[in-house]
Amino acid sequence: MNNKKMKNSLQRSLIRISIIIVIFISISEGALCFSIYRRDMISRYQNYAGDSINFLCRCIDVDDLEECMRTGVKSDKYLELQTLANDFKETHDLYFIYIIEPLKADPPDNMMDVFAAYTSWGKADGTDGLTDLGNYTGDAYPRDVALQYMNRMDTDTTVTYFRNDTDFGKIYTAIRPLINSKGEPVAVICGDILIDDIYQAAYAYAIATVIVTLIAGVLLIVALNRWYDRRIIRPIRSLENATGMIEDKCRRRAPVSELVMDDLNIHTHDEIESLSDSISSMVEDIRDYASDLVDKDKKLSDMQNKNSQLETLANRDSLTGIRNKTAYDNEIKSLEWNLKLGKTEFGIGVVDLNYLKIINDTYGHEKGNEAIKNICHIVCVIFAHSPVFRVGGDEFAIILKGQDLENIDSLIDKFNQELSDLANNKELSPWEAVSAAIGYATYDSDKDAGAINVFKRADNNMYENKKRMHAERT
């Protein structure tokens, strides 16, 4: 029963993947068709609007129009232009044709109407004829739209375009300045195209594309389902049954000689047939080498134990028993990786033993080693929650973490006080009353490119402390 459920699950998964791919392709193709259709139609309408206003510009006497704007009186040329523009709008697919003078950015009355073309039916229902020479526009143009018009009060006669969402719908405006004989911009002439219909047509085209693709996809899924069953599901069922029999023999601890897989008669000439042959070969290999595997596993276990011991020795300082420079370098690599993951809560402390050379030269290297072990013990006790490394002959590094990092200042004071108490104890030998300088730094993203930089700042702070101690003694 459980096997049956797994088989059906595989088939459903394949069908589900096919459905997802068909839906994805359908939606992607619809979105692509919508985008291409919309962009192409808008580009055509923009060029259409641009050609239209360029034509009208050639018919305008800008100096005469400027005089009309100044006096508020419509000249004969103005009236001729009105007639031409009205006829042009009647026969061309432009939503608005108008000339305005931008006065300022902020409403009200930031624009002055100069001219507008209208149609007979538009004037009858009130959509045209709402503007006239010298009228101010009140609040009709918000600041962001007004700036589009004001920016075209230049001497560049190239037609540009901008989008404006109005109460009438989505509009693309073609705009260019009108230049008088002195080379000065007087006003801007504009042609608006209503693109709602373009969007609706693009949506309809995209939906039709999606529907056709989905229908083709459904037919493809039906064909694929038959193909899946013949070329994938049935061979895998045979393979599963055969491997299940081998599994049952293994659980019963059957003799190795019984670990033989029957001929599955899978001849699909593809990866499944290759998989079947590989499994048959693998079963034979398991049967032939089962006894060897136990021996090899034991040898591998021994090697792993030895490697673990060698790794421990390689990362352990033989004198102090703490981790050595190799372990410290690995820890720095780990910190660098943590920085890439955003884990920045750490610091580094550096401790340098004083007078080691004097102790070695005066009392011998054995006493010098005692001094190293004594200062190591003090560092490990005080910084008990952070790993300590011996990174040089007389130098130790501390990776400050957790509560040691939070209480670093008090721990530094405790460390210095411990050394001060040793120094004041006259009964102690020089290798017992050890002296050391300490410095630390915490990670700062503004200063540190990585953990190595933190160590350098800590090392510098330690040497500054060493200089201060030397100055106090002299």
Task: Identify whether the C-beta of residue 120 lies closer than 8 Å to the C-beta of residue 129.
Answer: no
**What is the rounded distance in angstroms from the CA atom of residue 388 to the CA atom of residue 400?**
9
Long-range contacts of 51-56 (CB under 8 A, 24+ apart): 52/88, 52/92, 52/94, 52/97, 52/174, 52/191, 53/97, 53/159, 53/174, 53/175, 53/176, 53/189, 53/190, 53/191, 54/159, 54/176, 55/88, 56/81, 56/84, 56/85, 56/88, 56/97, 56/189
Between 120 and 453, name the one with better pLDDT: 453
Residue 285 has pLDDT above 60, yes or no: yes
CA 82-87-90 angle, to 5 degrees, is 125
Each residue of 45-85: pLDDT tens digit? 888 888 999 999 999 999 999 999 999 999 999 999 999 99
Residue 277 CA from chain centroid, whole number: 44
Between 244 and 149, name the one with better pLDDT: 149
**What is the rounded distance in angstroms from the CA atom of residue 115 to the CA atom of residue 129?**
10
Q: How confident is the model at residue 2 (pLDDT cuts 50, 70, 90)?
A: very low
> Sheet of 395-400: strands edge to edge?
388-390, 395-400, 347-353, 436-442
Task: Identify whether the C-beta of residue 461 lies closer than 8 Å to the C-beta of residue 398.
Answer: no
> Which residues pair with residue 172 across a beta bridge?
163, 193
> Which residues pair with residue 395 across a beta bridge?
352
Residue 354 has pLDDT above 50, yes or no: yes
Residue 94 has pLDDT above 50, yes or no: yes
Q: How confident is the model at residue 358 (pLDDT cuts 50, 70, 90)?
A: very high
**What is the rounded distance in angstroms from the CA atom of residue 70 to the CA atom of residue 394?**
93
pLDDT of residue 259: 65
Average confidence (pLDDT) over 444-469: 92
Continuous segment of H or E residues that includes residue 419: helix 408-424
| Residue type present at position 424 | N
pLDDT of residue 474: 62
Task: Identify whether the C-beta of residue 159 lies closer than 8 Å to the C-beta of residue 174.
Answer: yes
Orientation angle between helical segments 62-71 and 76-91, nearest 10 degrees: 110
Q: Which pTM does this prediction carry?
A: 0.43
Task: Identify whether the C-beta of residue 367 lies closer than 8 Å to the C-beta of residue 378.
Answer: no
pLDDT of residue 128: 47
Residue 1 has pLDDT above 50, yes or no: no
Each residue of 287-313: pLDDT tens digit? 776 666 556 766 777 787 787 777 777
The winner for highest mean pLDDT among 300-304, 339-343, 398-402 is 398-402
Q: How many CB atoms lie within 10 A of CB 358?
A: 12
**What is the rounded distance in angstroms from the CA atom of residue 51 to the CA atom of residue 57?**
10
Residue 188 has pLDDT above 70, yes or no: yes
Torsion of Cα atoms, 305 then 307 then 311 then 312, to 10°: 20
**What is the rounded distance in angstroms from the CA atom of residue 171 to the CA atom of residue 23?**
33
| DSSP-based three-state secondary structure for 153 | coil
Continuous segment of H or E residues that includes residue 294: helix 271-314
Each residue of 204-254: pLDDT tens digit? 888 988 899 888 888 888 888 888 777 777 777 777 777 777 777 777 776
Least confident of 21-35, 264-278, 426-440: 264-278
Question: Per residue in 360-388, is it b (16+ CB within 10 Å) or e — as a string?
Answer: beeeeeebbbbbbbbbbebbbebbeebbb
Q: Which residues contact 14 (CB under 8 A, 6 or more apart)?
A: 224, 225, 228, 232
